[in-house]
Structure 1
Amino acid sequence: MDNLIIKPSYVTLFNCIGAACEDSCCSDWTITFDKKSYKNTIKNPQLAAIAKIAFVEIKTDADRWAQIKLNPQGTCPFVNEHKLCNIHAKAGEKALSDTCRTYPRTHNIFGGTKYESLSLSCPEVARLVLFNQDAFQFDVNTSGIKRQSSPSPLWLEKTYEYSLDLLINLGLDWQQALMAIGFLIKVSDQVRQDELPISEIDKRFQQLKLFAESKLITEQYQKIPYTPQPQMRAFLSVHDQLCKSHSRSLRPRFTSLNEAIALLCNEQNDYQIDALNNAWDEYAMPALVNHPDLFDRYILYSIYHNHFPFIDTQQPWVAFRLLVLDCFMVRCYLSAVAYKNKGLSESDIVMCFQIYHVVRQHQVKFSEGINETLQECGIDSIPAAMSLLKTAN
C-alpha cells in the first residue's frame, strides 16, 4: 500500500512575497549551505565575487558545509538592492541552498504518512493560517512510495484525532476546548505508560463529548480561579528568554512589541499582568470581533503542525502545557499591542504570532527553558495550566 501525503491548503496557497515581506528570512537568520550548493555558488562566475565575502566554511557535515556571514545590517550579502536574492535571480531556484529553497516548508512523518506544513515564523504563513478562509482544506494523496514504516503509537494517533475533534466539533470556546484536550491528555499519558488499556482513551473522549453537551466543561472552566502571580512569573520569565534568544530583538519590529509592553509597566518599570489582562478585555477582544476563530485556527494549526501531542520527550502532558503557554504568551502580546494602538490591525495580529514563533519553532533550548519555567511556577496540573488563560475572576 502506498504511503500518504497530507497537505493543508495553506501549504498550497503559500507564495513568498519577497521584497514585500515585513520580516524577511534573508535577514538576521542563520543561513546554512549544503556542500553541493556551496560549491556551485562559489564556482558561478556571476556569484563568485560576492561568495568570497559571503561564506564561512563550517563543514559540520555535507548538509551544513558553509554558513552565510551577514553584512553589518544583518542581511545576507546575496540580497540585492531590490531586496531579492541574487542566487535565485542569476542561477535559478535549483541553485539555492536547501535552507533557502525549503523554508518555510516543513513536514513530519508518522507511520509512513507525510504531514506537510509551513512555519509560523514567516509573516506570510501567519497571515494565511490566521485569516485565509480556505487555509484548512486538506488534500490526501498517495506518495507513490511503498516503503515499510514503523507504525505510529496508537495512543498518539487516537489522541491526535480526538484533540482535533474536541476543538472543532463540540462548539466549545477555545479555552474550554483546550481544557477538554487536557482531560484527554491525562488519560493518554496513563495509556502511554501502560497504566491503562488503549480503550480508555475512547471512553474518555465519549465522556468529554457528553460533558461538552451538558455544559459541564464550561462550568468547570468558569470555576478555575484567576491567579495573577503565576501568570506574572510565567510571562516575565518567558518574555525575558524570548528577548535574549530572538535574533531580531533589536530590530524595529521587535522593538515595537517591547514598547507596547512597556506602556503597561508600573512606576517601578515592572510588568503588570493585571494591566495586560485588562487590556485584553478592554481593547483586544473588541478589536477581534471580526476574527472570532483566531485562536481556534491557531490551535488547529498547532495540533496539526506538531502532530500533537507528539514531543521528543514523549510526554503528552508537556506538549499540552506548552500549547497552553503558547496561547497565553500570544494573548499577552496581542493585549499589549491593542492597548498601545487602541485596537488591532491584521498586521498587528500577524506580528504578535510571528515574532513569538521565530524563537518558539526554531530553538529547542527555548522550549526546554519555558517548560522548566512552567514547572518552577507550579504549573503542574490541568487547572493550573488553564489558569494562565483566565483574565478575571
Structure 2
Amino acid sequence: MQIHKTIKPIFVCKFQCVGPECLMTCCGRNWSITIDKKTHQKYVLSSRADIASIAKENLVLLRKGKNNYSRVKLNEKGECPFVDENKLCMIHRDLGEEALSHTCSTYPRRSTRYQDETRHTMTLSCPEVVRRVLFDPDAMLLQEQDELVAGYKTNLIGQRQSASQTQQVIHLFAWNLIQSPSGNIEENLMALAQFILCLQHVNFDLHNRFAEVEDFYEALLNELQSGKSLLSSGHLAKSNAMKYLALSVMGTNAANLSAQGSFALEGHQQIASYLDVASISDEAELEAKFDAINQQWHRLCETSCLSEPYVLRNYLLYKLYSSYFPGKNMATIMRQFYRIVLDFFYIKCILSVRSMQGEIDQQVVMKTIASLSEKTMHNTTIDARMDFAIDKINGGDDLSCLLLIG
C-alpha cells in the first residue's frame, strides 16, 4: 500500500455550473463535442422521441474508438442541437446528469494523475471558473487529502511520473513569490524572473547550493514586502517596440484561432485601432500611447473590480498550479515563465484599452479571459505559437521579454 494525495484548490470545490445564466455557454461556442459509443446508443434509442430524432439527425459517426464514436453536428450558429429555447440542455433536463457524454459531464474539470498525487483543476475557458478563480480571496487555497492505495494503482497507464524534489521546491518558491504582498503584481512577476535567473546561475543544483538560493529568495521577499521596486525604467524605446511586437504576434494568434465577432478578436481589434501604428510618425507618439495604456492599467488596478490584491495574484497562482510550474524540463523554465508573461501582458492591454471606451466590470473580465483561454487552453499548437512569439520578441536576447512586465 502507498499514500496517494489528492489536491483540489478551493475554486474547484466551490464550482457549480450556472446553466443558462452563463455569459458564454459551452453549448454554443463552435466546439467539437465527441460522444462515446455507449452514450451514442443511449441517445439514438432514447424513449424520448425528440431526443432520439435530434440524435439520429445530428450525431455524425466517426467510429474512432469507444470514446470517440461520434460527434455532435452544430447548427449554423455553432450551437448544440440539444439546447432548447431556454438555453437548457435537453439531455440534462429530461434524462438526468448521468446521461451526459463524458465530454459534457466533465467540462470544465481537468485532472492530472501522477504516481503519488492527483491534481484537480478547471479550465478558464469557462467564465464561471474565471469568476471563481479571480474574485474569491480563498480560491487558490489548496485542499489536500491522503488515501492508501494498492501499489499497482500507482503505476497506471497514462499517469505521469512523480514530480522531482527539485521541481516541488522550485514550485513552492515560485508560489510564495507570486503570493507575497507587494506594490503591484508586476513586481511579483519580476521577482520570479530574478529568482529563475538565480536558479540558472547555480545550474538548479539545490542539493549543494540550497542555502545560496534560499538567501536570494528571502532577499526578494524582503524587497517585495518593503515596497522597493524591482522594475527597471530603462530601455523605454526598446520596451515599447517589444510591446508592440508582442501585441502584433499575439493578435495574429487571436485572429487565426478566433471566429469572426468573438470577444477575443474584438478585444484585439480595439487595441489595433487605438495604437493605429500606420498613422504614427515618430517613437514619441507610440511611447505616449503605451504610457496611456500603463496609466489606464494602474487606474483599473486601483478603482475597478481588479483592485482587490488577491484578484491578479489568484490568476497567476492558477497559471503556476495548472502547469505545475516549472515542469520537469528545467532547461525551458524561462520559456515557461515567458508564456505566463505574454498571456498576462495581452490580457492587461486588452482590458486597459477596453476600459478607455467603457466600464470594466467582472463580466467583461470574465468574458475576456474565458474567450482568450478558449483559444489557448484548447489548442494543441498554442505552445509552439507562443514559443514562436517569444523567439521573435527576444530576437536573440533571452531577456527581452522581461521588458513586457513593466
* TM-score under structure 1 length normalisation: 0.88
How far did 1:239 drift? Answer: 1.4
Secondary structure, aligned partner of 2:69: strand
Match of 1:203 in 2: 212
Q: Is the 2:180–2:188 Cα contact (8 Å) retained in structure 1?
A: no
**What SS does the corresponding residue of 1:3 show, helix, strand or coil?**
strand
| TM superposition shift of 1:240 | 1.6
In the superposition, relative to structure 1, how do residues 236 and 243 fare at CA in structure 2: closer, same or farther (>3 Å)?
Answer: same
Find the residue that maps to 1:107 and give its secondary structure.
strand
- C-alpha offsets along residues 290-333 of structure 1, whole Å, 9 cap, x if unaligned? 33333211111111121112278972222111011111111011
User: How has the CA–CA distance of structure 1 residues 273 and 6 changed in structure 2, closer, same or farther, with 3 Å as cutoff?
Assistant: farther
Among candidates 382, 387, 391, match of residue 403 of structure 2: 387
Please report how far the alpha carbon of residue 140 of structure 1 lies from its aligned counterpart in structure 2 after TM superposition: 1.1
Q: For residues 317-355 of structure 1, what are the alpha-carbon distances to aligned partners after superposition, in whole Å with 9 as ceiling and x for unaligned?
A: 2211101111111101111111111x3111122122221
CA contact (8 A) 1:264 1:272 kept: no
SS of match in other structure, 1:30: coil
Once the two structures are overlaid, the 10-residue window that deviates more, 78-87 or 127-136, is 127-136
The answer to whether the aligner puts 1:264 opposite 2:265 as a matched pair is no
Deviation at 1:49, TM superposition (A): 0.3
Distance 1:53 1:36 in 2: 17
C-alpha RMSD of matched pairs (Å): 2.8
Letter in 1 for 2:25: S
2:164 paired with 1:158? no
In the other structure, the counterpart of 1:148 is 154
1:42 corresponding residue in structure 2: 44
Q: Is the 8 A contact 1:57 1:66 kept in 2?
A: yes
Cα deviation, residue 188, structure 1: 4.5
1:169 aligns with 2:180: yes
Other structure's SS at 1:340 match: coil
Find the residue that maps to 1:67 and give its secondary structure.
strand
Mapping of 1:97-246 within 5 angstroms?
97-146=101-150, 147-148=153-154, 150-169=161-180, 171=182, 173-188=184-199, 196=205, 198-200=207-209, 203-214=212-223, 218-226=228-236, 227-246=239-258
Deviations 1:110-167 (A, max 9, x none): 4421111111110001011111223223221124534335432222111111111112
Report the Cα distance in structure 1 between the residues aligned to 2:390 and 2:18, rounded to whole angstroms.
37
Distance verdict in 2 for CA 1:190–1:210, change over 3 Å: closer
Distance 1:267 1:207 in 2: 42
Provide the identity percentage.
Answer: 22
Among 73, 78, 88, the alignment partner of 1:74 is 78
Shift of 1:184: 2.9
Structure 1: runs of 5 or more not aligned: none
Q: Is the 8 A contact 2:139 2:314 kept in 1?
A: no
Pair 1:313–1:241, CA change in 2 (3 A): farther
Native 8 Å contact 1:155 1:188 kept in 2? no
Offset of residue 286 of structure 1: 4.3
Answering whether residue 335 of structure 2 is matched by residue 335 of structure 1, we say no
Corresponding residue number in structure 2 for 1:346:
362
Whole-angstrom distance in 2 between the partners of 1:303 and 1:161: 10
The match for 1:64 among 68, 79, 90 is: 68
Q: Which runs of 5+ in 2 are unaligned?
A: 156-160
1:295 aligns to 2:312 (yes or no): yes
SS of the equivalent of 1:309 reads: coil
Q: How far did 1:258 drift?
A: 4.3
Letter in 1 for 2:154: Q
Corresponding residue for residue 18 of structure 2: 17
Does the 8 A contact of 1:158 with 1:201 survive in 2? no
> Secondary structure in 2 aligned to 1:94?
helix
2:277 touches 2:286 (CA, 8 Å); kept in 1?
no
**Distance apart, 1:217 and its partner CA:** 9.7
Q: Which residue of 2 aligns with 1:6?
A: 7
* Aligned-partner Cα distance in 2 for 1:205–1:274: 40
What SS class does the counterpart of residue 59 from structure 1 fall into? Answer: coil
